[in-house]
Amino acid sequence: MYDYTSDNPASAALPTLWTRNYFYPFVSVFSPFSRSVLAEISRRAWFHYYTRLGHDISFAPKTLVHSADGRLFLDLKWICQQDAAFAGLPPLVIRLNSAPVAICPWEKPGMVAGFKLSRNQKKIDQLLQDFARDMGDITGRIRKWYDKVQAMRWTQAEILQIMEEIERFGTESLMAFFAARHNLEREHNTLLGLLPGDDRRQKFHLINSALSDLDGLAELALTDELLALAGLAAADKKLMDWLETAPGEDWLQSVPPGTFADGMAHLLDGFGHWATGVGEMSNPTWAESPELVFAAILTCARNQTKRPKRVPSTAARQQLLEAVDGKVRKQAEQALDRLASLTALQSNALNAYGYLLAGSRTWALAAGNEATTDGRLLDVEDVFLFELEEIKQMMTGEWNVSSTDEIRQRAEERRLQYTQWQDYRSPTAFFGDTPAWAALSGLPSVSGSITGPLRRQEHLRPVLCQNAVVGARRVDSGWSPTLPVAGGFIAAAGSPLDPIIAAARVWHVPTVVGLGAGYDQLVNGAQTTLDGTAGVVEQ
């Protein structure tokens, strides 16, 4: 995943490396509001991560998160420098134009320094354990804030109050997410290095197979509830008839009372803050618009979909361990254990951060409604075309009715940009100002193969996913309702480390991500063969 081609020549050291990897669990292209919120809270989260470890830093640089073409990129060089200074950790191993390159300078510490640094490495392990232990409390705190936001009547004072709380309340859950994701990337990178040979696809396959039966994922908790509801519906013609009516946001007014209605209320209580397209706050949450969930329940009920048979990964794990040199076998075993626990932490931290996203969406719509009353905005939804600081200026009166023409013009310019960016293929990374692309097209993510029609999905329709190869720019956790019915997933971007991919392994949904330009060449509707073991997609 850190193998690039670029016009930037390989040298002893790199300029800043901006990577998209850590943002792959989110939607591919962000609206200005969503992008600005995630960028600002990301800077806060990384600062708090290192200060909580005890690392003496005064700030996270404003340039830590870089935006290009509606995508977000993270300054990986700065992060590796902090790891090296605090805990003596070597930087991630990357390749540029087939040559190994150091992200930042690093020397193996001597005995005295190594003793201190090893204690700091233990602090990292302890913090990750603390996050996993406290995730219920972290989720409870951000859920309490979300509930408060939903209860607001949205006076001007309340709009200003919540405006000042968004970054602060989002930091803890996003800090846990980045802590999990960063250390996932490190462990995966280490394990790739321990496996012998140059066949990177085979290495990916070995690691994927050894992590095919993970527990504790929020995505799997969702599909468990969804299947239980589908089972109730399949046994009750009245419920099936009701689901056929495509119930919407007023479903509570028409749903037949009973166990199904109670179960649906429970599902939306736990997952109603989710949205299709994680991180994009212009998309309605499932609590607002549950049509996707109902469609998935109906599709599973029609097909009488059952929970997948859990296939233990014991044999695959042993195969991987036997492939590495005996001297590093224990290290490889520890890396696998960490990958499993960190994947669950990443999933649940992302779930917690979803409450911040849903609450911020509610606030933005209230702010948008305020700005439409005096004509600064023509449509409430236009609020998502403005960055967080710009909306703050509108709410505090700095950008008042005298600037109406400027505000409307900016909205139109942003709308055009946002539309254009949807079809633009952005670089995988930047070395300084120079774009870079993934050297490997197609990352094996979930083993297995399938042949079926390619169904590109922009607005998810579970019925079109049945036994099909489902394609997208990126697959995220908001696609979880399609796991029980999809034949396979392919995506232009993404990573085998994403939580939706871990859940797809449990559901045995063959998946290839990171196709890059190869995705654009595929013909929608054509018979497509997906080989998730080899990372190959053919038509």
Cα atoms in the 13 Å half-sphere on the side-chain side of 377? 25
Residue 413: partners with Cβ closer than 8 Å, 6 or more residues away: none
Give CA separation, 24 vs 422, 435, 494, 500, in Å: 16, 18, 5, 11
The reply to whether 118 falls in a domain is yes
The CATH code of the domain that includes 504 is 3.50.30.10
Does residue 29 belong to any structural domain of this protein? yes
Q: Which of 520, 394, 501, 398 is nearest to 454 (CA)?
A: 520
First-to-final CA distance of the chain: 25
Indicate if 381 and 413 belong to the same structural domain. Answer: yes
Task: Compute the residue count for the chain.
Answer: 539
Kindly give, in sequence order, each residue whose CB lies less than 8 Å from that of residue 369, ignoring residues fewer than 6 positions away: 154, 380
Give CA–CA dist 199/74, Å, rounded.
28
Structure tokens given for 364:
């933005």
534 and 454 in a common domain? yes
Q: Is the domain of 19 the same as that of 154? A: yes
Look at residue 56 and tell me if it is in a domain.
Answer: yes
Does one domain contain both 400 and 444?
Answer: no
What is the CB neighbour count within 10 angstroms for residue 95?
16
Domain count, the chain: 3
SS3 27: coil
Same domain, 501 and 522: yes
Structural element, H or E, at residue 450: strand 449-456
Residue 477 lies in a domain: yes
Q: What are the tokens at 394? A: 């509108």
Tens of pLDDT, residues 212-246: 999 999 999 999 999 999 999 999 999 999 999 99
Residue 458: predicted pLDDT:
76
Same domain, 76 and 167: yes
Residue 11 is assigned to a structural domain of this protein: yes
Cα separation, 118 vs 104, in Å, equals 20
Of 361, 391, 421, the residue that ends a domain is 361
In contact, 226 and 484? CB cutoff 8 Å: yes
What pLDDT, in 10s, does the model give residues 447-493? 999 999 999 987 777 777 888 899 999 999 999 999 999 999 999 99
What's the sign of the alpha-carbon dihedral 358, 363, 366, 372?
A: negative
SS3 287: coil
Give the number of other Cβ atoms within 10 Å of residue 89's Cβ.
18
Tokens of 514: 């990171």
> According to the model, what pLDDT value does residue 10 have?
55
Strand partners, 6: 436
**pLDDT at position 114:** 82
Rounded to whole angstroms, the Cα distance separating 270 from 210 reads 30
Contacts of 167 by beta carbon, 8 Å cutoff, 6+ apart: 37, 40, 41, 44
Does residue 488 sit in the same domain as residue 528? yes
Phi, psi (degrees; rounded to nearest 5) at 458: -105, -45
Furthest C-alpha separation in the chain: 73
Single-letter code of the amino acid located at 154: W
Question: How are beta strands 434-438 and 443-446 bridged, if at all?
Answer: unpaired
Average pLDDT, the chain: 94
Residues of the chain with pLDDT under 50: none
Looking at residue 111, its pLDDT comes to 80
Contacts of 223 (CB under 8 A, 6+ apart): 480, 481, 483, 484, 503, 507
Q: What is the predicted pLDDT for the residue at 277?
A: 92
Please state, in angstroms and rounded to a whole number, the distance separating the CA atoms of residues 525 and 469.
Answer: 9
59 domain-assigned: yes
Residue 424: which of 129, 48, 71 has the closest Cα?
Answer: 71
Do 50 and 173 lie in one domain? The reply is: yes
Range of the domain at 405: 371-431
Among the three residues 335, 361, 387, which one is the final residue of a domain in this structure?
361
Q: Are residues 168 and 207 in the same domain?
A: yes
Closest CA to 516 of 485, 474, 483: 474
Residue 263, in any domain of the structure: no
Whether the CB-CB separation of 499 and 219 falls below 8 Å is answered with: yes
Residue 22's CB is within 10 A of a number of other CB atoms, namely: 22
**254 falls within a domain:** no
User: Is 387 in the same domain as 421?
Assistant: yes
What is the three-class DSSP state of 476? coil
Q: Are residues 16 and 151 in the same domain?
A: yes
Q: What is the 3-state secondary structure (H, E, C) of 125-182?
A: HHHHHHHHHHHHHHHHHHHHHHHHHHCCCCCHHHHHHHHCCHHHHHHHHHHHHHHHHH
409 with 472, same domain: the answer is: no
**Which uninterrupted H or E stretch holds 437?**
strand 434-438
